[in-house]
Structure 1
Amino acid sequence: MDREPGLSVRLKLTLSYAAVIMLAGGALLAVVWVFLLRYVPTNFGPTHMSGPDRFDLLSAFAPKAALMIAFLLVFGLIGGWILAGSMLAPLTRITNAARLAATGSLSHRIQLEGREDEFRELADAFDTMLAQLEAHDAEQQRFAANASHELRTPLAITQTLLEVARNDRNRDSGELVDRLLYVNNRAIDLTEALLMLSRANQRTFSREPVDLSLIAEEAAETLLPLAEKRGLTIETSGEITPTTGSHTLLLQLTTNLVNNAIVHNLQADGTVWVTTSLRSRTVVLTVENTGEKLTPQLVSTLTEPFQRGTQRTRTDHAGVGLGLAIVKSITQAHEGTLTLTPRAAGGLRVKVQLPR
């Protein structure tokens, strides 16, 4: 935004310091002058001498007072300029860091020394913001690279299938169509997942009162045929859990968790537990499943986009690698927290806490 040039803050502070010193010095000299007049006699003898006596006093006092005022002015300007520069030095470092950040350099930190005060608090907050921006920028770069790779894969497969079909005219077209349909569906699923993730990150959705327990029941009922096909059991329980948010996004969150718990489970006779609970300030959705034992290191990477975890990937339903990433984004968009914990007996426990 264009602004007209003005006085610097340092010059304004300098003039303010000098003005305060001048006013204080002038007030002090005025008090001294009034104090001296009280003790000056009106005459020194039979002749009325009050006028000349005070005139002589003024003649002696005025030059010294003017000299003192001039000294205070010079002292106020010089001292105020030095003091203002010292006080504004931290602000200069913060400004330089902001300019570096504007050019794309997010690795710079102010790291302002000294005890806690307003400038140090501002510098620390700015350093925290830079660290978060740097981490977010790195995450976005990884996401863009992974998304490009994931989107390129079905296109490359499609191109290969078409080239094979062109070179082999006698090949069964039905098999080719089926494989192309499968690859195309995978690309559509990935695109829809990316759109869902983008929508959750932008937080551009309307909010309404919802019951998380009803959403959990709806997701479990929808995915019950998939669980029965795999020989799994879904157990739902809990209490009414009122919260505020997008019904569509929260249903997507719950569906992703239940689907993830079904797909990454035992080969047979596995169980998925879906429970909701009410606390003083939050509502909690917990989804647990049986399965292979997971390490904390692996679990800590599962919410990253396209980080499926090779130990948990099933060949019959690998997914697009965005299920838990979408869950994380939707949770954050609803001011909630997401916690993933490996179960001691095997499997995963996922807990979503949202404001009540």
Structure 2
Amino acid sequence: MVREPGLSVRLKLTLSYVGLLMLAGALLLAVVWVFLLRYVPSDPITIPGPFVSGRFPGLFAPGRLPGPNIPSRSDLLRAFAPKIAAAWAFLLVFGLAGGWILAGRMLTPLKRITTATRMAANGSLSHRIRLPGRGDEFRELADAFDAMLARLEAHAAEQQRFAANASHELRTPLAITQTLLDVARNDPDRDTGELVARLHAVNTRAIELTEALLVLSRADQRSFSREHLDLSLIAEEATETLLPLAEKRGLTIETSGEETPATGSHTLLLQMTTNLVHNAIVHNLPEKGTVWVTTSIVHPGAVALTVENTGNKLAPQLLSTLVEPFQRGSERIRTDHAGVGLGLAIVTSIARAHDGTLTLTPRPEGGLRVTVQLPAAPMGAVGGSAASRSPTRSE
């Protein structure tokens, strides 16, 4: 933004200091006038008895000889006026010099903040202000700015990794498609049915990846409308949708919980729950595994969705990588339904967009426990009974 040149903040502060100092001097003179000079008589008063010459030197008007009287109000004003003018001139000079120095010292932290801001605007997010000294408004601003730079730097690095991984993931199906088409062009007698089937599978995977990227982008931008809803009903809806997949794998899904009123996007929260249940089904025991889906009220201000599953024991260092985009966890991948590597990344983004938190905990017996905690809506906002729902078991 192009702005017209104006007075600097330092000059404005200096003029403010001078103005305040001159105003204080004027108020002081006004107090002297009101409480002292107003009681001095305007005319000379004769003093009875002998008068000592030279008692009041310089206080009498020119041409008036000292005599048996005291100075009048005009005599006092005439004697003190030059001294008042000199005092005001001294206050003006002192205020300008002192105010300029004080304003410079006060604005020194602001210059460091401005320098850091310009460096950040030029792309240098690694610079930090690190303003020394005890806490005050400027240091609070500097600390907040440093924290913001740290978050921006981490976010920029995350976005760069995400863009690189997304490009790699999107390039893979496109490269496979190109190879299949080249083979078909060089071998006209090849069976087109097999080619079409493989192209369909590759194209389906590319579409799933693109849709997942769109969901992730929508959640990160928080471009959705909020409504009151019941998280337990969303959990039941997601469970019923994925029940055929669980039956195909010979797994058992158990759902339980109570009415959990929350606020958010029904579509995104359903996507989040579906991803969690899908991961719990896919990354499970080969047979006779179990998935537990539970909703609960943590406290009056928060509700929770917990999805647990049986499975192999997970290394603690693996948990921190599971929420990264395209990090599928090599120890948990199966040959089918491996997904596009964005399941937990989407869950994390949706939870963060709803001001919630995601917690991953390995189960001692094997498997994973994932808990999403969201802000609660007022009870009764979604209708229905607040009574606990009875557990259901699906096989």
Give the TM bin, normalised by the shorter chain: over 0.9
Opposite residue 43 of structure 1, the aligned amino acid is I
- Greater alpha carbon shift after TM alignment, 12-21 vs 144-153: 12-21
1:273 aligns with 292
Cα deviation, residue 298, structure 1? 0.8
Paired residues of 2:40 and 2:73 also in contact (CA < 8 A): no
Residues 46, 70 of structure 2: 8 Å contact kept: no
Alignment partners' CA distance in 2, 1:28 and 1:210: 67
Asked if structure 2 preserves the Cα contact closer than 8 Å seen for 1:42 and 1:49, the reply is no
* Matched-pair contact (CA < 8 Å) for 1:106–1:134: yes
**1:51, CA displacement in angstroms?**
9.0
- Counterpart residue number, 2:94: 75
Give 1:170's aligned amino acid: D
Is residue 312–residue 366 contact of structure 2 (8 Å, CA) maintained in 1? Answer: yes
Q: 1:42 aligns with which of 40, 44, 47?
A: 44
CA RMSD of aligned residues (A): 2.1
Q: Which residue of 2 aligns with 1:293?
A: 313
From the CA coordinates, give the structure whose radius of gyration is larger: 2
Residues 22, 91 of structure 2: 8 Å contact kept: yes
Could you list the per-position Cα deviations for residues 12-34 of structure 1 after superposition, in whole angstroms to 9, with x for gaps in the alignment? 11111111111222333444466
Partner of 2:370: 350
In 2: Cα distance, 1:251 partner to 1:58 partner:
86
Asked whether the 8 Å contact 2:125–2:149 carries over to 1, the reply is yes
2:37–2:73 Cα contact (<8 Å) kept = no
1:305 aligns to what SS in structure 2? coil
Shift in Å, 1:37: 7.0
For residue 243 of structure 1, report the CA deviation from its aligned partner.
1.0
User: Normalised by the size of structure 1, how large is the TM-score?
Assistant: 0.94
3-state SS of 2:45 partner: coil
2: CA distance, partners of 1:127 / 1:313:
40
Instruction: Work out the CA distance in 1 between the residues paired with 2:202 and 2:68.
Output: 116
Could you tell me which runs of 5 or more consecutive residues in structure 2 were left unpaired when the two chains were aligned: 49-65, 377-395
| Percent of aligned positions that are identical | 76
Residues 1:309 and 2:358 are matched in the alignment: no
Q: Which amino acid aligns with 1:35?
A: L
Task: Measure how far apart 1:228 and its partner are.
Answer: 1.2
Superposition pairs of residues 197-276 of structure 1, within 5 angstroms: 197-276=216-295
Q: TM-score of the superposition, structure 2-length normalised?
A: 0.85
Would the aligned equivalents of 2:40 and 2:72 in 1 still touch at CA under 8 Å?
no
Deviation at 1:235, TM superposition (A): 0.7
Match of 1:153 in 2: 172
State the shift of 1:281 in Å: 1.2
SS in 2 for 1:306: coil
Distance across 1 between alignment mates of 2:223 and 2:180: 39
The 8 Å contact of residues 270 and 289 in structure 1, kept in 2 or not, is answered as yes
- Could you tell me which residue of structure 1 aligns to residue 212 of structure 2? 193
Shift of the alpha carbon at 1:317? 2.0
Residue 56 (structure 1) shift: 4.4
* Structure whose residues are more often helix by fraction: 1
Per-residue CA distance 1:225-260 (angstroms, 9 max, x = gap): 111111111111111111111111111111100000
- Give a deviation string over 1:301-338, Cα, whole Å, max 9, x none: 11111011111111222210011111111111111111
Residue identity in the other structure for 1:344: P
Q: Which amino acid aligns with 1:135?
A: A
Structure 1, unpaired ranges of 5+: none
**Number of aligned residue pairs:** 356
Q: Which whole-Å CA distance do the structure 2 matches of 1:54 and 1:347 have between them?
A: 98
Q: CA deviation at 1:116?
A: 0.9
Cα shift at 1:222:
1.2
